[in-house]
Amino acid sequence: MSEITTIAESIKPLDESFFTAANERLDSLTKPRGSLGTLEVIASRIVAICEDPRPLLDKKIIFTFAGDHGVTDEGVSAFPKEVTPQMVFNFLAGGAAINVLARQAGADVAVVDIGVDYDFGDAEGLIQKKIVSGTKNMATGPAMTPEEAGRCVEVGIDLALEYADRGYKLFGTGEMGIGNTTPSSAIIACLSGLSPREVTGRGTGVDDAAFENKIKVIEKALEVNSPNKQDAMDVLAKVGGAEIGGIAGLCLGAASRRIPVLVDGFISTAGALIATEIEPKVRDYLFASHKSVERGHQAMLELMNLKPLLDLDLRLGEGSGAALGMNIVEASLRIYKEMATFAEASVSEEEKSNQEKQAN
Amino acid sequence: MSEITTIAESIKPLDESFFTAANERLDSLTKPRGSLGTLEVIASRIVAICEDPRPLLDKKIIFTFAGDHGVTDEGVSAFPKEVTPQMVFNFLAGGAAINVLARQAGADVAVVDIGVDYDFGDAEGLIQKKIVSGTKNMATGPAMTPEEAGRCVEVGIDLALEYADRGYKLFGTGEMGIGNTTPSSAIIACLSGLSPREVTGRGTGVDDAAFENKIKVIEKALEVNSPNKQDAMDVLAKVGGAEIGGIAGLCLGAASRRIPVLVDGFISTAGALIATEIEPKVRDYLFASHKSVERGHQAMLELMNLKPLLDLDLRLGEGSGAALGMNIVEASLRIYKEMATFAEASVSEEEKSNQEKQAN
């Protein structure tokens, strides 16, 4: 049995009794019931994920997987391919958006080369897990072999297990890869049955002609490769990318260790979708951190029944939305743990409504 | 000339040149242009508000104004009126949601008695600015006299000026007052021309019968008092509340000192709306921190042309959403100040699109 299957089969459903206990505490706090909305929903799910009535998510980390894409030969991005390794160096130097936002969230950043078409030598701080030197051009054939795709997912799983062992309690996903909205749109089109036009956006900002070309390239990639929508690993190999596979593995590994994962935007959600197709129970361990400007994102979130925490018109990636989402998760846990109860604060509780009185 | 008029006339419009300079810097940072969406919009507006190319909003404070409402005699709330002073003690003891969320945001909390129907004696930490001991029942006559309403707004102005002098750079609004969604709905109905039914929600959670009653009470209050929608101070006096007046004053005072204000939810936005009716330029200094569950909130935000930063199904008040919004503001300023530029990080810039090439 492969590592992927073993890990997927080890993922357990959440135990309802933890939700019940968490909701009892939330209802005892000095606020009208449910009045903190999503913060309360997050807190009870984290209690259930961690199986801990007082969860402490003090060690946080964002995994930023970097990979290149042969499909950039088709002119699908506004940025040249060299930007992928340039941005990796920027991550390592601490100057990118993800570094800034992770610092605010009190999170570390793990920068992972899983598929960049560049030799980083012994670049300090880089986690070297290169499986491919860029994918192949999916417009003319499969982006990766089945074996390469499997190894990308295993990289993600192994990182999840390693960082769980090192005491990290909350993960965020992120990525860097010029051209990677194209495979992400291809994945969502294939798995949702929606047309490429319905799930394709402008990425970092291509013009009208390039946008039409991008849709045609995705249509061609799906025709040429005929990915099997019943087999997520086939979809990942044929029209995916190395960093998308790494993110899928990270979600699987995290769920197997009961670690909540903040999923970043469009590309990260494509990775998370691959993971939930492999094992639907993964979904209970995931939080959608924000709603991307990319139009296919909403379709993916609906497929996964996830409601994004933030809607800030972001379209950057890197894990930037996941880092912002960590502040919301921290707020929800602080509310859950630090607020006074009605009894502690000697505050009168809600009067029973007439409906409730009649029901009793 | 009254203090309110003097302060309102001292408010200046924002200077476009600061937006231009801020946007130039944002476009030089290592990310696709505009890809950090709302974070970029916030940063440039704060630069323009502060008239400072490197704004530092290190001292933050939430003002939680507390007041009671005679209209609770009509059975418009699910909680008994005693909860207002009980929650004030909870704020002072640090056990309420606003205390927890302000701690996370690194903000202080100023708890202001502006209209509670309770004698707090010399309660430690309470800012005593009582103008009324609860408003009168607006279903049978004006909630406040014109003079009382004016003094409530002046309390807010004076606090804004005092805390500006003490070095505070970012304000949040908040409130506590059992029954105060009722005057807020009355204010928005009056100023928007929408019917009470269209702008009334369930507050802390009344049942169907109490909800229908609440709408009738608001209709009656508007009939009995005939507030003049061209005169925001008349609306505030007749169908408003002391804490709503305090918030209006805080917004006016903050704008006069070029201090950005994070406006909390439904009740706070009613106060902010009164301020913008008095002086429309106030609007440029306000950020809507979140979109409340209360249905009239969206209508108010549209009147003020403000887009909420968060949508977390909150309906608590106190300043809880403003505290959460402070994390977003901090993220936007960190991005603006800490990210590396393309030149600093040796990252290639976006290729010019064909459209841009042709235009050049």
**What distance in Å separates residue A43's CA from the closest CA in chain B?**
13
Do A33 and A97 share a domain, yes or no?
no
Kindly determine whether residue A31 and residue B96, on different chains, have CB atoms separated by under 8 Å: yes
Instruction: Measure CB to CB from residue A97 to each of B31, B86, B355 and give the nearest one.
Output: B31
Kindly determine whether residue A353 and residue B78, on different chains, have CB atoms separated by under 8 Å: yes
C-alpha of A291 from chain center: 12
The CB-side HSE value for B141 (13 A sphere, CA atoms) comes to 5
| Residue among A219, A318, A338, A356 flagged as catalytic | A318
* Nearest Cα residue in chain B from A95: B340
Note whether A267 contacts B: Cβ–Cβ < 8 A. Answer: no
Do A113 and A234 share a domain, yes or no?
yes
Question: Which CATH number characterizes residue B30's domain?
Answer: 1.10.1610.10
Task: Please list, residue by residue across A213-234, b when 16 or more beta carbons sit within 10 angstroms of its beta carbon and e when fewer do.
Answer: ebbebbbbbbebbebeeeebbb
- Residue type at B132 in one-letter notation: V
Kindly determine whether residue A345 and residue B100, on different chains, have CB atoms separated by under 8 Å: no
pTM for the whole structure:
0.96
Provide the 3-class DSSP secondary structure of residue B195.
coil
Number of domains in chain A: 2
Do B37 and B131 share a domain, yes or no?
no
Q: Is the pLDDT of residue A352 over 70?
A: no
Provide the 3-class DSSP secondary structure of residue B342.
helix
Residues near A343 by Cβ (< 8 Å), separated by ≥ 6? Answer: A28
Q: Which of A242, A185, A240 is nearest to A211 (CA)?
A: A185
What residue ranges of chain B have pLDDT lower than 50? 353-360
Do A66 and A49 share a domain, yes or no?
no
Kindly determine whether residue B101 and residue A331, on different chains, have CB atoms separated by under 8 Å: yes
Note whether A28 contacts B: Cβ–Cβ < 8 A. Answer: no
Do A295 and A354 share a domain, yes or no?
no
Q: Please tell me which residue, A359 or B348, carries the higher pLDDT value.
A: B348
Instruction: Measure CB to CB from residue A78 to each of B79, B346, B353 and give the nearest one.
Output: B353
Residues 186-205 of B with CB under 8 A from A: 204-205
Q: Is the pLDDT of residue A358 over 50?
A: no
Q: Which of A94, A89, A79 is nearest to B31 (CA)?
A: A79
What are the φ/ψ torsions at residue B52 (nearest 5 degrees)?
-140, 120
Residue of A180, A337, A350, A360 best to disrupt the B interface, most CBs of B under 10 A: A350
CA distance B294 to B232: 22
Asked whether the beta carbons of B108 and B62 are under 8 A apart, the reply is yes
Do A146 and A294 share a domain, yes or no?
yes
What would the two tokens of residue A137 be? Answer: 């051009």
Kindly determine whether residue B344 and residue A86, on different chains, have CB atoms separated by under 8 Å: no
Do B99 and B8 share a domain, yes or no?
no
Annotation says A318 is catalytic: yes
Chain B residues with CB inside 8 Å of A212's CB?
A: none
Note whether A123 contacts B: Cβ–Cβ < 8 A. Answer: no
Asked whether the beta carbons of A242 and A144 are under 8 A apart, the reply is yes
Question: Which CATH number characterizes residue A208's domain?
Answer: 3.40.50.10210
Do B340 and B321 share a domain, yes or no?
no
pLDDT at site B359? 40
**What distance in Å separates residue A77's CA from the closest CA in chain B?**
9
CA distance A44 to B255: 40
Residue with tokens 């002072």: B92
How sure is the predictor about A354, in pLDDT bands with cuts at 50, 70 and 90? very low
Residues 295-314 of A with CB under 8 A from B: 309-314
Kindly determine whether residue A39 and residue B314, on different chains, have CB atoms separated by under 8 Å: yes
Rg (CA), chain A: 21
Note whether A244 contacts B: Cβ–Cβ < 8 A. Answer: no
What would the two tokens of residue A209 be? Answer: 């002609």
Do A151 and A289 share a domain, yes or no?
yes
ipTM over 0.90? The verdict is yes
Note whether A339 contacts B: Cβ–Cβ < 8 A. Answer: yes
How sure is the predictor about A295, in pLDDT bands with cuts at 50, 70 and 90? confident
Give the percent of chain B with pLDDT over 90: 93
DSSP state letter for A73: G
CA distance A302 to A27: 29
Q: Tell me the per-residue pLDDT of B161-206, one tens digit each, with 9 for 90 and over.
A: 999 999 999 999 999 999 999 999 999 999 999 999 999 988 777 7
What are the φ/ψ torsions at residue B310 (nearest 5 degrees)?
-125, 155
How sure is the predictor about A350, in pLDDT bands with cuts at 50, 70 and 90? confident
Do B218 and B348 share a domain, yes or no?
no
Q: How many CB atoms are located within 10 Å of the residue B174 CB?
A: 34
Q: Tell me the per-residue pLDDT of A71-102, one tens digit each, with 9 for 90 and over.
A: 999 999 989 999 999 999 999 999 999 999 99
Q: Tell me the per-residue pLDDT of A196-251, one tens digit each, with 9 for 90 and over.
A: 999 998 877 778 999 999 999 999 999 999 999 999 999 999 999 999 999 999 99
What are the φ/ψ torsions at residue B175 (nearest 5 degrees)?
-160, 160
Strand partners, B288: B263
Residues near B294 by Cβ (< 8 Å), separated by ≥ 6? Answer: B181, B184, B185, B201, B203, B265, B266, B315
Note whether B358 contacts A: Cβ–Cβ < 8 A. Answer: no
Kindly determine whether residue B345 and residue A36, on different chains, have CB atoms separated by under 8 Å: no
pLDDT at site A135? 98
Asked whether the beta carbons of A65 and A247 are under 8 A apart, the reply is yes
Domain of A346?
Answer: 3-54+336-359
| Residue among B318, B338, B349, B351 flagged as catalytic | B318
**What distance in Å separates residue A314's CA from the closest CA in chain B?**
5
Asked whether the beta carbons of B171 and B61 are under 8 A apart, the reply is yes
What is the full DSSP assignment across A197-238?
Answer: HHH---TTT--HHHHHHHHHHHHHHHHHH---TT-HHHHHHH
Do B149 and B64 share a domain, yes or no?
yes
Task: Please list, residue by residue across B148-169, b when 16 or more beta carbons sit within 10 angstroms of its beta carbon and e when fewer do.
Answer: bbbbbbbbbbbbbbebbeeebb
Q: Show the CA angle centred on residue A182, arms to residues A176 and A184, nearest 5°.
A: 75
Kindly determine whether residue B87 and residue A324, on different chains, have CB atoms separated by under 8 Å: no
**What distance in Å separates residue B37's CA from the closest CA in chain A?**
5
C-alpha of A173 from chain center: 5
**What distance in Å separates residue A15's CA from the closest CA in chain B?**
25
Residue A221: left (phi > 0), alpha (psi -120 to 50), or beta? alpha
Strand partners, A170: A60
Do A347 and A305 share a domain, yes or no?
no
**What distance in Å separates residue A181's CA from the closest CA in chain B?**
14
User: What mean pLDDT do residues A268-277 have?
Assistant: 98
Chain B residues with CB inside 8 Å of A309's CB?
A: 312
Residues 61-120 of B with CB under 8 A from A: 78-80, 82-83, 86-87, 89-90, 93, 95-97, 100-101, 103-104
pLDDT at site A1? 61
Strand partners, B327: none
